[in-house]
Amino acid sequence: MPADRLNAELATELEELAAAGLNRRRRVLESRCGRIATVDGREMLNFAANDYLGLAGNPAIAQAMADAALAWGAGSGASHLVSGHLVPHETIEQGLAAFTGFPRALSFSTGYLANLAVTPTLAGRGDAVFADKLNHASLIDAMQLAKANGATVQRYPHNDAAALERLLAASDARRKVIVTDAVFSMDGDLAPLPALFELAERHDAWLVVDDAHGFGVLGPQGRGSLAHFHLPASPRVLLMGTLGKAAGVGGAFVAGSATAIDYLLNKGRSYIFTTAAPPAVAGALACSLQLIADGDALRRRLFERIARLRDGLAGLRWPLLPSPTAIQPLIVGDNAAAVALSQALWERGLWVPAIRPPTVPKGTARLRISVSAAHEAADIDRLFDALKELA
Ligand SMILES: *Cc1c(COP(=O)(O)O)cnc(C)c1O
């Protein structure tokens, strides 16, 4: 029975994954995203979501989404370029451009698709991509597509601007593209964006910045990592932001010069060949964007919780990485030990995911603690009390 054999092969690989402790499964939430996640009838304190401002379950945003669904229907019906670009899509693009200070923005269904559009569209034959070693998986896939298009790809050691400079200086590529996370998703640290921007100017390169974890959180009004560093909305910069994390909804955008955005709109395959997101998503985002812009109190609360966690965990057996953001990784080292610690917290009603290789480098398995403005001070205390007990 050949079809059975096909599946037997896959099953063998899955068993190998399980034997290495690397198989994955999902948990079903019986509640909306928030500080409490109900799982199997149990109320878990949620330190796993990227809902940094606590907006994912916000009733006003949900209402805006419902209103937009009633006004505009459930589906957009086609890709943006065919007939799927509705007024709510246009409005949110203009709102995101104004908010980030760039002339134009283009909306995408997910950040993954946004990243797949940018690098391979900018870089093809004769061009060179320079990427940080710890970039997000979606940027790595984008880099592989650029390579398939004929670009050369070089990865520089994490946040090492001097190493990047040597690579740029040695390159005779027609077009150079520097690609980096702004906030690294598994470490929580910031890219040295001012140094990278200066290198981009000096070597006449594009700078592509993935601000998935900075948008809504960093900078005045949550305008993101570029604003945090007081960097200009330069025409050599493309800023990607995701809208399913701090913004609490879903989707993503790329902001840049009018020309660069028009170029992406004409050539970005993951923009062109996919159905536009439901207009209700754009409607919800308009509300979310307003809450982000007016969200100084939420951000103050978030940074207070981050400081409380870092104070509480200082001197613990497991070190916290020096992260100034909502992503607080506690380095355990060993894969099995990280999973056991995550499991022990789970049994105490605390949901903190363990992250293992290949998502992070070997020997650096960790707990990835996501802090949110939705957390109460007592929630943070419960987490560090439990960790102290387990240490
Ligand atoms: C989450 C994430 C993405 C992907 O965004 P989605 O909207 O979830 O597809 C891209 N880059 C980084 C750094 C991320 O953390």
The string of DSSP codes covering 149-200 is TT-EEEEESTT-HHHHHHHHHH---SSEEEEEESB-TTT-PBP-HHHHHHHH
User: In this predicted structure, what is the pLDDT of residue 22?
Assistant: 80
Mutational test site, ligand 1, from 116, 143, 190, 210, max ligand atoms within 8 Å of CB: 210
Does residue 140 share a domain with residue 129? yes
Does residue 184 share a domain with residue 86? yes
Domain closes at, from 293, 328, 343: 293
Residue among 111, 78, 113 at smallest CA distance from 270: 113
Does residue 94 share a domain with residue 112? yes
Mutational test site, ligand 1, from 33, 108, 225, 242, max ligand atoms within 8 Å of CB: 242
Residue 136 annotated to the active site: no
Q: Which residue is closest in CA terms to ligand 1's atom 3? A: 111
Q: Which atom of ligand 1 is nearest to the CA of 136?
A: 13
Does residue 381 share a domain with residue 268? no
- Whether residue 118 is contained in a domain is answered as yes
Q: Which of 89, 245, 323, 342 is catalytic?
A: 245
In angstroms, what is the span from residue 250 Cα to ligand 1's centroid?
Answer: 10
Does residue 159 share a domain with residue 44? no
Domain limits for position 306: 21-53+296-390
Does residue 188 share a domain with residue 132? yes
Quick check: helix, strand or coil at residue 46? strand
* Gap between the Cα atoms of 107 and 346, Å rounded: 37
In angstroms, what is the span from residue 295 Cα to ligand 1's centroid?
Answer: 22
Domain closes at, from 293, 316, 349: 293
In angstroms, what is the span from residue 242 Cα to ligand 1's centroid?
Answer: 6
Does residue 73 share a domain with residue 35? no
| Cα pseudo-dihedral 113, 116, 119, 125, rounded to 10 | -150
Residue among 174, 157, 175 at smallest CA distance from 166: 157
User: In this predicted structure, what is the pLDDT of residue 78?
Assistant: 98
- Whether residue 351 is contained in a domain is answered as yes
Q: What is the pLDDT of residues 48-79, one digit of tens each?
A: 999 999 999 999 999 999 999 999 999 999 99
Does residue 215 share a domain with residue 130? yes
150 and 122 in contact (C-beta within 8 Å)? no
Does residue 323 share a domain with residue 244? no
- pTM, two decimals, is 0.97
Does residue 74 share a domain with residue 180? yes
Does residue 318 share a domain with residue 284? no
* Gap between the Cα atoms of 29 and 38, Å rounded: 6
User: In this predicted structure, what is the pLDDT of residue 189?
Assistant: 97
Residue 388 annotated to the active site: no
- Whether residue 4 is contained in a domain is answered as no
* Gap between the Cα atoms of 60 and 231, Å rounded: 32
Give the residues of the chain that fall short of pLDDT 50: none
Residue 370 annotated to the active site: no
Quick check: helix, strand or coil at residue 6? helix
User: In this predicted structure, what is the pLDDT of residue 127?
Assistant: 98
- Whether residue 325 is contained in a domain is answered as yes
Specify the CATH number for the domain of residue 99.
3.40.640.10
DSSP string, 265-332: HHH-HHHHTSBPPPHHHHHHHHHHHHHHHT-HHHHHHHHHHHHHHHHHHTT-SSPBP---SSEEEEEE
Does residue 214 share a domain with residue 127? yes
Q: Which of 80, 89, 176, 213 is catalytic?
A: 213
Specify the CATH number for the domain of residue 37.
3.90.1150.10
Q: What is the pLDDT of residues 78-92, one digit of tens each?
A: 999 999 999 999 999
User: What total number of domains does the chain contain?
Assistant: 2
Domain closes at, from 249, 265, 293: 293
Q: Which residue is closest in CA terms to ligand 1's atom 4? A: 111
